[in-house]
Amino acid sequence: MTQSAEPILQVRDLKIDFSADQGILPVLRGLSYSLPKGRVLGVVGESGSGKTVHALSILRLLPPAARISGGEILYKGRNLASMGEEELRSVRGDKISMIFQDPSASLNPVLTVGEQLTETLLAHRKLSKRQARREAVALLEKVGISEAEKRLDEYPFQFSGGMCQRVMIAMALALSPDVLIADEPTTALDVTIQAQILALIKQLQRQSGMSAVFITHNLAVVSGIADDVLVLYAGLCMELAPAAQLFENPFHPYTQGLLSSLASVHKKEDVLPVITGHPPVPGQILTGCPFAPRCPHAFDKCRRECPPLFEEAARRTRCWLREGK
């Protein structure tokens, strides 16, 4: 994974717990990575692996039952995990922005699109309402919405799902952030619109030079947008590698299983391979490697001890099979 002298975002040994009736449930168990300027990190894994919780923690948008119990989230060296609320507000939206999973649920149905876009601009920039409206028109045009001046006065219900997601992208990019967090931004869209949104995000990211964390359960989606890929399982990083290397030669058995289960136009298979079993539930006490119960290569040591992240050139892999490589 390519590193810069001073990464714009660093997550160091991040731990997140949830309070529940049955006690404290660990969801993230010590996640670490660095995000260099201008790079896109894809974070992938099955549902329940901790992807969205990790994303929400960066801007401290976790639900009330969740808390950061350890580690640091560093933006340009400043720890967001311990930052005061007033200081954090100056970072949210301005320096780090987020696109959420469901655009229809994220937009306020009783405010026009223009009101929601200009609200962001007026809150962080010294602009008149007229200037903010001009900026909002330019933003809608930038994300490919035609008749932008007219559509500013329309409400979210008058937009399709794909158009709502374009509006969310415009809002996220309104203040030219250094880091964009995209949490499953195409999940609710059909395949054609999904491809358009992915191409738009990649194009805007390259034009602006911003960094991005792109979260998805779909490796096929991340292959077209990420420079590096982090594979998350049971709140732990299983593999972290440059995207091209990971897709060409995945090291971890979990990554191999995810890739083998993808449908391909080049292979005719009646039944796609699947990873047997289920991920551990949040809070489950883990002994050994969390993937061992599902791993076809597991041996005794895997069941007794959780492996560290073994480093090999630009790659990291949490698997005893990589020991001594």
Q: Angle at CA 198, nearest 5°, toward 16 and 73?
A: 25
Low-confidence stretches of the chain (pLDDT < 70) are: 1-5, 263-272
pLDDT of residue 294: 95
Pairing mode, strands 40-44 and 211-216: parallel
pLDDT of residue 3: 46
pTM of the model: 0.91
pLDDT of residue 2: 45
pLDDT of residue 264: 59
Which two three-digit tokens encode residue 182? 């995209």
Q: What is the DSSP letter of 14?
A: E
The pLDDT tens digits for 4-39 are 457 999 999 999 999 988 888 999 999 999 999 999
227: Cβ contacts below 8 Å, ≥ 6 apart: 2, 39, 40, 41, 242, 243
Map out the domains of the chain with their CATH numbers: 9-95+177-322 (3.40.50.300)
Do 212 and 285 form a contact (C-beta atoms < 8 A)? no
pLDDT of residue 271: 66
Average pLDDT, the chain: 90
Do 31 and 236 form a contact (C-beta atoms < 8 A)? yes
The pLDDT tens digits for 231-272 are 999 999 999 999 999 999 999 999 999 998 876 545 565 666
pLDDT of residue 143: 92
Nearest to 177 by CA among 91, 60, 244: 91
CA distance 246 to 248: 6
